[in-house]
Amino acid sequence: MASHFRSYVWDPVLIISQIVLMQCIYYSFLGLWLAGVDGLVQTSRSLDQIFSYEVLGFSTTHGRLSMMAFILNSLTCAFGLWFFIRRGKQCLDFTVTVHFFHMIGCWIYNAHLPAALSWWLVNVACMALMAVIGEYLCMRTELRAIPVNTAPKSNL
């Protein structure tokens, strides 16, 4: 019987808990980044900043700062992928899942699919950043050399 290195076992409880954890990381750090941006420009906080697609725009300072918060959040979530998922092959899956559930949340909040091009551009860019950086960090960890002790054992 051949052994499989890092064989994958189907564990739906683990997968669902990782999805919930990544959603929590996504929204909690997005809230923190947006609170930091709101502190810079002295604006009021609301759920519109997270779920309304009209907020993300290139024309206003507040829209550009909100885009910056979304991009910084994708970098933070990439570290979440590295710390909690730890598999480079699964980074794209979890990234798309997080952003898919965010799109569903925006759809429910606005009562229709987001129609602004800036919303789609920001979310696609954030998806790409989160997946690529998360996969890079995970692959760097996975490809580390395995230390082999070549010294003879003294307690034989």
Farthest-apart Cα atoms in the chain, separation:
74
Helix axes 117-142, 91-110, angle to 10 degrees: 160
Angle at 80 between CA 123 and CA 144, to 5 degrees: 120
Question: For residues 102-129, b (16+ Cβ closer than 10 Å) or e, as one string?
Answer: bbeebeeebeeebeeebbeebbeebbeb
Phi-psi group of 126: left, alpha or beta (phi > 0 → left; psi -120 to 50 → alpha; rest → beta): alpha
Q: Which residues contact 50 (CB under 8 A, 6 or more apart)?
A: 27, 30, 31, 34
94-151 pLDDT, tens digit each: 999 999 999 999 999 999 998 889 999 999 999 999 999 999 999 998 888 677 776 6
pLDDT tens across 39-86, in order? 888 777 788 889 988 888 888 888 888 899 999 999 999 999 999 998
Enter the pTM of the model: 0.84
Cα separation, 88 vs 61, whole angstroms: 36
Whole-angstrom distance, CA of residue 50 vs CA of residue 25: 14
